[in-house]
Amino acid sequence: MLEKDGYDIKVLNTINFKKSMHYNPFAYLRSEKDILKLVQTIIANTKGEGEKSSEDFWVKAERLYYTALIGYLYYEAPEEEQNFETLLAFIDASEVREEDENFKNAVDYIFDALEKEKPNHFAVKQYRKYKLAAGKTAKSILISCGARLAPFDIKELKNLMEYDEMGLDTIGDKKTALFIIISDTDDTFNFVVAMMYTQLFNLLCDKADDVYGGRLPVHVRCLLDEFSNIGQIPKFEKLIATIRSREISASIILQAKSQLKAIYKDNADTISGNCVRPEVVN
């Protein structure tokens, strides 16, 4: 019916990947700011290894490493290699030998070569900081990185995110219906949904400001059912307060208000107050 009315249909299905269109977050990186937002979304919606995963130092070191690697892929890799499969290949190649502090792995050599050519490269700066932070703890940090991205060991997920068919940056240009199908019992792939929503809101806001003078030509209404199951959208309390002026609205649907508090803590009231209509379904 929607197609007959001229809507472009998009589907992300995290229950059955074979029934989903492809989604690649790397396709929507436009700046270093976007890289930082993507890394923050990954960190906020995944878990590292053991007790260390919750400690600030370890998380900061992981963040530096992801930022360095994604920065390298964004600036230096061919388009077909800008995806999570290549990111995991870099992490897998990051061998550490605790008994040999001078040992260099394949990734070290890649960044050494890049530093000689472009010493002020964004990715090089992040990699330097990571190496300083890691030191003798590099092995533990890499173990945590592997645990955090373990879902990508599933071939179907890697295939899903190999390239992009979603066209998130065009949703505010024309009539589009985006369906996001998620499990209400399993949160393993919530981080994928959180990445998509984070990128969608930021892309639409940027396009409204940069292309359309502040307002999208087609109103975008987001019906966020099972909002507590889509992961955490970083800085959502700020996004929700500013999207309406750009022709974007959001209705959050929950089973209890406490679910919003559990995810967004002290920002829950700000989010609720800026919704078109917060829905609580018993």
pLDDT digits (tens, 9 = 90+) for 32-73: 999 999 999 999 898 866 445 446 788 889 999 999 999 999
In this predicted structure, what is the pLDDT of residue 79? 96
For the chain, what is the HEC assignment?
CCCCCCCEEEEEECCCHHHCCCCCHHHHCCCHHHHHHHHHHHHHHCCCCCHHHHCHHHHHHHHHHHHHHHHHHHHHCCHHHCCHHHHHHHHHCCCCCCCCCCCCCHHHHHHHHHHHHCCCCHHHHHHHHHHHHHHHHHHHHHHHHHHHCHHHHCHHHHHHCCCCCCCHHHCCCCCEEEEEECCCCCCCCHHHHHHHHHHHHHHHHHHHHHCCCCCCCCCEEEEECCHHHCCCCCCHHHHHHHCHHHCEEEEEEECCHHHHHHHHHHHHHHHHHCCCCCEECC
- What average pLDDT does the chain have? 89
Question: Which band of pLDDT confidence, cut at 50, 70 and 90, is reported for residue 279?
Answer: low
Query: What would the mean pLDDT of 72-87 be, rounded to a whole number?
Result: 97
What share of the chain has pLDDT > 70, as a percent?
93
Render pLDDT for 225-263 as a digit per residue (tens, 0 to 9): 888 888 889 889 999 889 989 999 888 888 888 888 888
Angle between helices 106-117 and 122-134 (to 10 degrees): 130
**The whole model's pTM is what?**
0.90
Domain ranges in the chain?
Answer: 2-23+164-274, 26-153
Query: Which superfamily is assigned to 2-23+164-274 in CATH?
Result: P-loop containing nucleotide triphosphate hydrolases (3.40.50.300)
Q: Does residue 129 surpass a pLDDT of 80?
A: yes
Query: What would the mean pLDDT of 162-190 be, rounded to a whole number?
Result: 92
Query: What would the mean pLDDT of 203-212 be, rounded to a whole number?
Result: 93
In this predicted structure, what is the pLDDT of residue 260? 87
In this predicted structure, what is the pLDDT of residue 273? 79
In this predicted structure, what is the pLDDT of residue 277? 54
- The Cα 172–Cα 174 span in angstroms is 6
Q: Does residue 281 surpass a pLDDT of 60?
A: no
Q: Does residue 282 surpass a pLDDT of 80?
A: no
In this predicted structure, what is the pLDDT of residue 280? 54
In this predicted structure, what is the pLDDT of residue 64? 95
Q: Does residue 138 surpass a pLDDT of 90?
A: no
Render pLDDT for 168-177 as a digit per residue (tens, 0 to 9): 999 988 889 9
